[in-house]
Amino acid sequence: MPFSPHYTITVAIAQNLVAIETSKTQFESIPMNATLLSSLRKSARLASTHYSTQIEGNRLTMEQVTNVITTKKGGGLPGRERDEKEVVNYYKALEYLETKNNKPLTETIIQTLHGLVLNGRKSASAYREGQNVIKDGLSGAIVYMPPEASDVSRLMSELVSWIASSLEKGKIPVPIIAALAHYQFATIHPYYDGNGRTARLITNYILHFGGYGLKGIYSLEAYYAKNLQGYYHALAVEDIPNYYMGRAQADLTDFLEYFMKGMAISFTNIVASSKENSSPSLQDHSKALRELSAKQRMALDLFVTQKEITNTELALHIGISKRSAAALLKKWLENEFLKIGNPSNKARSYRLNHKWEQLF
């Protein structure tokens, strides 16, 4: 049967939904310029990367994660090569998410997110072809057996259809859609590895697409990591050990309460942090920034520390080929987002047009 989640909107869930909406409204009125936004977004991506991979056992500290990402150099921590690869891949997936989250979520996008998480490449990864299990980390005992591989494709198709339909109808609050999608993806467990990280990325994708992205400067992963037993307990829902023993009919109220509380706390913290970093005298660029595409906003990060960029720098920063970067640069010259800095064919560079250069 199609995905049809069962839950009750309790007083706690309703109160946290109100808190989320209040924080969202407050955030939208906080003055934000390009430099501050770039700094806060980078900090949020680093925090999301650290905490989401930490949940899966990654041993790097926040400082080490920051160093690996900002220097773009792996191998600096002997014996931690796998951990370094995990954080680099997750960061790439977050950047990919930012360039796509203005489009409806599809199975291809989910598979590409997983491909980035696991291999660091933008190639859609196929669902598992065999059975997988979830084991207790200490005892090794099986605690949950996901659906058979033969059912995965249908279940994923039904999940994506339910997300699209729910967002279009607008009857279910976006945070609840994101939470239920997180739960169901983890329930299906369509891959042998990387399911948790991909589930958290899907959650972020839906929130951004539904207007709850807060300009990309929040991290729900921090709440999960700091309340890990609560996270696992909430996902376990009634301790059902096998998908076919009633997992699809389980009451998801407790999971929603956990998720909504975490989202409300995260949003409240972001408002407080943004207010602390902003000031009434700060020139607000929010309206101008809304005119830009996701890729243009990502490109702005480069201009925080330099006046001109090259094709190679843009390609590396956004995670696209040099040919794709060249096409973007041509388009941005035409729509006057950029202008030529150095016209030399060998050392051609680009800078922001006057309107956008004023942001810095």
* pLDDT digits 0-9 by tens, 49-69: 999 999 999 999 999 999 999
Residue with more model confidence, 24 or 77 = 24
Judge if 228 and 305 occupy the same domain.
Answer: no
Angle at 14 between CA 12 and CA 17, to 5 degrees: 110
Least confident range from 40-44, 95-99, 153-157, 284-288: namely 284-288
Judge if 265 and 330 occupy the same domain.
Answer: no
Closest CA to 49 of 101, 110, 91: 91
Is the pLDDT reported for residue 73 higher than 70?
A: no
Residue with more model confidence, 218 or 145 = 145
Residue 6 is assigned to a structural domain of this protein: no
* Residue-level pLDDT at 92: 92
- What pTM did the predictor assign? 0.88
Judge if 239 and 309 occupy the same domain.
Answer: no
**pLDDT by residue (tens digit) across 31-44?**
888 888 888 888 88
Judge if 272 and 297 occupy the same domain.
Answer: no
Residues of the chain above pLDDT 90, percent: 60
Judge if 185 and 299 occupy the same domain.
Answer: no
Amino acid at 217: I
Is the pLDDT reported for residue 72 higher than 70?
A: no
CATH of the domain at 339: 1.10.10.10
Q: How far apart are CA 339 and CA 350, in angstroms?
A: 6
| Number of folded domains that form the chain | 2
Is the pLDDT reported for residue 279 higher than 80?
A: no
Judge if 351 and 205 occupy the same domain.
Answer: no
Q: Is 350 helix (H, G, I), strand (E, B) or coil?
A: strand
Residue 126 is assigned to a structural domain of this protein: yes
Judge if 267 and 140 occupy the same domain.
Answer: yes
Judge if 341 and 246 occupy the same domain.
Answer: no
Judge if 210 and 324 occupy the same domain.
Answer: no
* Residue-level pLDDT at 110: 97
User: What's the chain's average pLDDT?
Assistant: 90
CB 17 within 8 Å of CB 261: no
* Residue-level pLDDT at 30: 86
Instruction: Please state whether beta strands 338-340 and 350-352 pair in parallel, antiparallel, or not at all (unpaired).
Output: antiparallel
Closest CA to 7 of 175, 200, 225, 199: 175
Residue 284 is assigned to a structural domain of this protein: no
Judge if 228 and 334 occupy the same domain.
Answer: no
Amino acid at 47: A
Domain assignment of residue 352, given as a range: 291-357
Q: How far apart are CA 108 and CA 180, in angstroms?
A: 20
CATH of the domain at 258: 1.10.3290.10
